[in-house]
Amino acid sequence: MARICIDARPAVIARGTGIGNYTYQLIQYLAVLDQEHEYYLLWPDDGTEPLPMPPHFHFHPMSRDRREEAEQLPRWLEAQGIELYHAPDNGLHAFPSYTCPMLVTIHDLIPFVMPETVRRGYRRNFLEKVPKVAREACCILTVSQVAKRDIHSILSIPEKRIQVIYPAQEAVFVPGDPERARYRLQGKYGITAPYILYTGGLNPRKNVAELIYAFAKARKYWDREIQLVIPGGFSSQAEPLPLLCQALGVDQSVLFLGFVPMDDIVTLYQGAELFAYPSLYEGFGLPPLEAMACGVPVITSPVPSVTEAARDAALLFNPEDTTSLVEHLNLGLWETPLREIMGQRGLTAAASLSWRKTALKTLAVYNRILDAQ
């Protein structure tokens, strides 16, 4: 039996984001799959109630203030006799103790690859902190071959120290009755017609403006009303999008829903006619797989990390070519035999991934590191 520490704070603080969901799902499945090791979970120090966990999981409150972390965390790891420390949030809150090995999950290097799309303070901290933590880690986990390539080439980390373990969509994403789903959504969100869905945030690298341009152009040729539905919280970077809709005359057909709880996100997928994902860069790109798990046809930009998992289950368009996107919107909406093939292939692609597999592979890495000590 070994003592393993996981920084579980993102499971609370960032739940609903890629890193938050990754952390949450990982600890939930480790609690079921691993009865051998003792787990110590760093937890927010704001009074947040711990998750229900088995007896061999322990919670320890830890500040997110970097000065306090830098002083307290290494001391605590040593005092508890921790034998392996896992930082799942790109290492941004990792302060290694030299009494135990450190494992870091780096999800992407977007602040290096597309710095203009990242908030200045976050970018500065990321560029300063992540290379140092990556060098100090005994092993780096990442979520795609593309991310592994970036970590190797940009941070000069040897490939043998980087392991790809794919995450997965959550188990709640399953097919449903589209008409029933739309009925549930109508009163709450004003969805009154069949709709194209996009999820994944409104950061500029997500390229949502291009999707709106293509939607405005394509709908002129449709013989029935189709809406474009976009959940997600707004930031200053996204403020031009409603103005763009007004300028294009589609402000009544494009619905910005703001924050949507998980239950309604699942329903949004289940009711969609088509899922469109125009992103320019992803570390992994989970939303297309969530749509596929719900049986929804998917069109996506050929971001390599997305196509790694989606394989031949999605139609690929050029995200910087409006005409290409218009053509694929039409194919995905109106070509019934193709839609059926895409839906079936999507279900197969999504079924190839699971959080059980992710957790088992992560546990195998833990054991390898522990055995090498």
Across the range 242-260, mean pLDDT stands at 95
Of the candidates 197, 305, 300, the residue with the CA atom closest to the CA atom of residue 254: 197
CB atoms within 10 A of CB 58: 15
Does 16 score more than 80 pLDDT? no
Q: Which 3 state secondary structure label does DSSP give 21?
A: helix
237 has pLDDT over 80: no
CA–CA separation, 67 vs 332, rounded Å?
51
CA angle 187/199/208 to nearest 5° reads 110
User: What is the predicted pLDDT for the residue at 111?
Assistant: 95
Q: Give tens-digit pLDDT for 76-97.
A: 999 999 999 999 999 999 988 8
Every domain of the chain and the residues it spans: 3-168+354-372, 178-351
Architecture of the domain spanning 3-168+354-372 = 3-Layer(aba) Sandwich (3.40)
pLDDT at res. 296? 97
Overall fold of domain 178-351? Rossmann fold (3.40.50)
How much is the pTM? 0.91
Q: Quote the pLDDT of residue 232.
A: 87
Confidence of residue 114 (pLDDT cuts 50, 70, 90): very high
Q: What whole-number distance in Å separates Cα of residue 90 and Cα of residue 12? A: 16
Residue 39 — φ and ψ, nearest 5°?
A: -110, 135
For residue 1, name the pLDDT band (cuts at 50, 70, 90).
confident
Same fold, 3-168+354-372 and 178-351: yes
Instruction: Flag whether pLDDT at 328 surpasses 90.
Output: yes
Q: Which of 38-42, 174-178, 222-226, 302-306 has the lowest mean pLDDT?
A: 302-306
Task: Reply yes or no on whether the pLDDT at 348 is more than 80.
Answer: yes
Residue 54: pLDDT band with limits 50, 70, 90: very high
Q: Residue 17: what pLDDT? A: 80
The pLDDT score that the predictor gives to residue 246 is 96
Residue 165: pLDDT over 80: yes
